Structure 1
Amino acid sequence: MRRRLAPIAHAFNREMLARYTLIATRHTARLLERKIGLPVEELLSGPEGGDTQIVARVAMREVDAVFSFVDPLAAQPHEPDIRALLRVCNVHDVPPATNLSTADLIIMAFARLEELQSIDVIP
């Protein structure tokens, strides 16, 4: 099964992301498409409700991981949206990455699961 990721705001390695179905808010989707040339399902912009759409997708189990990178030293005007996103990830057991180290661990875990599934260790 192809994993579905919702990167919120960061440019990733193209080869790594090409393995996944990407879903993002408008600005992030366009940035990813322009920078790495991969298709991204574009939702509304964050202020128009795109973050809320991602929250809904997580709740409906249509997202396998969320990458949401923000500057931890700056105040975030959309802090309530970030809290809602992290809350729904925790409620529905979807791993959220808020920094590169966590994102790397999630990707490595997905790669390992795919490897084990390919040799029929995990159904």
Structure 2
Amino acid sequence: MSNNLSGDTLRVALVAHDQKKDALVAWVETNAEHLESAQLYATGTTGSRINDALPVLNIHCLKSGPLGGDQQIGALICEGKLDALFFFIDPMSPMPHDVDVKALSRLAIVYDLPFANSQSTATYVLKGLLNG
């Protein structure tokens, strides 16, 4: 379980399905002032899109999700190196790597990691983490 609410640098993973990448980038732009001091991790394409929009953020781009980025996020969860996972899932599109989505969901639950799948939930989780 993550317990980084003591004022240390907030560590957040950002992942989005193709049809939700614009929504995640927009959410990050809206919350940029709260994320400027955070250590952000993102799967490849998502991280590149966020970095293009907001190069001031401290974002570490991992591999693309289907190429192992989801597993890299999973490892960060297992190692206690994340305070939250924001994974904007598109429920209307087929998910060829659905097992990876399920694995991340399972790890977030096992390690009691705050896990948001939508803009509104991500906003509430972020506010909760900031107000600890």
For normalisation by structure 1, the TM-score amounts to 0.86
Q: Distance in 2 between matches of 1:28 and 1:74?
A: 17
Cα distance, 1:47 vs structure 2: 2.0
Q: Is the 8 A contact 2:14 2:86 kept in 1?
A: yes
Spell out, residue by residue over 1:49-71, the C-alpha distance to the aligned partner (whole angstroms, 9 max, x if none). Answer: 01101011101111110010021
Count, aligned residues: 113
Cα distance, 1:110 vs structure 2: 1.1
Counterpart check, 1:5 vs 2:24: no
Q: For 2:12, what is the secondary structure of its paired residue?
A: strand
* RMSD of aligned alpha carbons: 1.1
Partner of 1:36: 54
Detail structure 1 runs of 4+ shifted over 3 Å in the superposition.
none
Counterpart check, 1:23 vs 2:41: yes
Greater C-alpha radius of gyration? 1
Cα distance, 1:16 vs structure 2: 2.5
Cα distance, 1:89 vs structure 2: 0.4
Q: Distance in 1 between matches of 2:122 and 2:97?
A: 21
For normalisation by structure 2, the TM-score amounts to 0.81
Q: Is the 8 A contact 2:70 2:100 kept in 1?
A: yes
More RCO (CA 8 Å, sep 6+):
2
Instruction: Within 5 Å, give how 1:90-101 maps onto structure 2.
Output: 90-101=109-120
Spell out, residue by residue over 1:69-93, the C-alpha distance to the aligned partner (whole angstroms, 9 max, x if none). Answer: 0211222112111100010000001
Q: Distance in 2 between matches of 1:57 and 1:18?
A: 20
Determine what percentage of the aligned residue pairs are the same residue.
35
- Gapped regions of structure 1 (runs ≥ 5): 114-123
